[in-house]
Amino acid sequence: MRTKLPGEPGVKNAGRTDEKTAEAEVLMDKKYQCPICRTDFSSKGLKQGKAVNAGVDIDLFVRYKNIDAVKYRVISCPKCGYTAMDTDFMMINKHEAVALKKQLILKAGDLYEANDFRSFEEALALYRSALRCSLIKQGKYSERANIALNTAWLLRKWREKGGIYNVQTEPENEKKYLNHALKNFKEAEKLESFPIRNMSPVTFSYLMAALCYETGSNKEAYAYLIKVLSDNQAEKRIRIMAEELKEKIR
């Protein structure tokens, strides 16, 4: 069975009508009920099969030709401000809900209009809110890692499009979030059972190798790659990516 990659789906852009038109063809309104305050609302999400795959980055960031899908992976309640990744929004237990009810003060409605298209700036604010909610409810380390990784991807795309966040000089930068993702995935590796974020041990080891490489830990990256390349059950595409990454480290 194919292992899901963590990036797959399931400054304002004023004057960028062409991009909004392209996004409109790929997006649809999806209905949700907030598990915290029971408010019914809708949020933009990808239409099944409409996003055109344009390749995968070394750290498994899935790119699309016709949309920056990473902007739409966060769901936020416009009433109480509960915010989470689309894969985690409804996955909340009673104790987590109680913790969030006590501390939520930020309202997503102050950040963006629920039926509008998201700018990178708005998406970044929602990712920050998702991480805050995860910390409040003491979510899994893998959940925090996934939020951080997607935030890094968001900042990468924003930077590539001339965004205001420079990866080398700004405090809100891609490498900061890659480091945060790596740190939390290491904790998840120790404390959580596989599959972690729908990843098999082999895919997880490859991702860890990529994150180590991107954050400057080549020796550690190599150790994770050995785990991948020595596993006879490794998927062909992961093995190929691991071989390519191994060549970069040499």
Q: Across the chain, where does the E strand assignment appear?
A: 27-33, 40-46, 53-56, 62-64, 74-76, 83-85
Where in the sequence is the domain holding 59, given as residue range(s)? 17-172
Secondary structure class of 150 (helix, strand, coil) = helix
111 has pLDDT over 60: no
| DSSP β-bridge partners for residue 43 | 30
Residue 240 is assigned to a structural domain of this protein: no
The per-residue pLDDT for 163 is 75
Q: Per residue in 26-48, pLDDT tens?
A: 999 999 999 999 999 999 999 99
Q: Provide the pLDDT for residue 171.
A: 56
More confident residue, 170 or 44: 44
* Residue 218 covered by a domain: no
- pLDDT at position 15 is 41
Distances (CA, A) of 30 to 22, 43, 47, 75, 115: 18, 5, 9, 10, 10
Tell me: pLDDT of 114 over 50: no
Task: Write down the pTM of the prediction.
Answer: 0.88
Would you state the pLDDT for residue 227? 97
190 occurs within a structural domain: no
Question: Apex CA 124: angle with CA 121 and CA 125, to 5°?
Answer: 90
| Cα 162 to Cα 188: distance, rounded to the nearest angstrom | 34
The per-residue pLDDT for 165 is 61
pLDDT level of residue 108 (50, 70, 90 thresholds): very low
Helices (H) and strands (E) counted in the chain, each on its own, are 8, 6
Question: Residue 105 — very low, low, confident or very high, per pLDDT cuts 50/70/90?
Answer: low
Q: How far is CA 167 from the centre of its chain?
A: 18
pLDDT confidence of residue 2: 46
Phi, psi of 34 (to 5 degrees): -60, 125
Has residue 9 been placed in a domain? no
Task: Inform me whether the pLDDT recorded for 115 exceeds 50.
Answer: no
Q: What is the total count of domains within the chain?
A: 1
* Structure-token pair, residue 25: 């063809």
Examine residue 119 and state whether it is found in any structural domain, yes or no.
Answer: yes
Angle of helix 236-249 relative to helix 218-229, nearest 10 degrees, comes to 150
Lowest mean pLDDT among 164-173, 215-224, 227-236: 164-173
| Inside any domain, residue 199 | no
For 51, which DSSP code? Answer: S
Quote the pLDDT of residue 164: 67
Residue pair 91/241 in contact by the 8 Å Cβ criterion: no
In whole angstroms, what is the distance from residue 130 CA to residue 122 CA?
12
Look at residue 144 and tell me if it is in a domain: yes
Q: In 3-state terms, what secondary structure has residue 84? A: strand
Q: Does residue 7 form part of some domain?
A: no
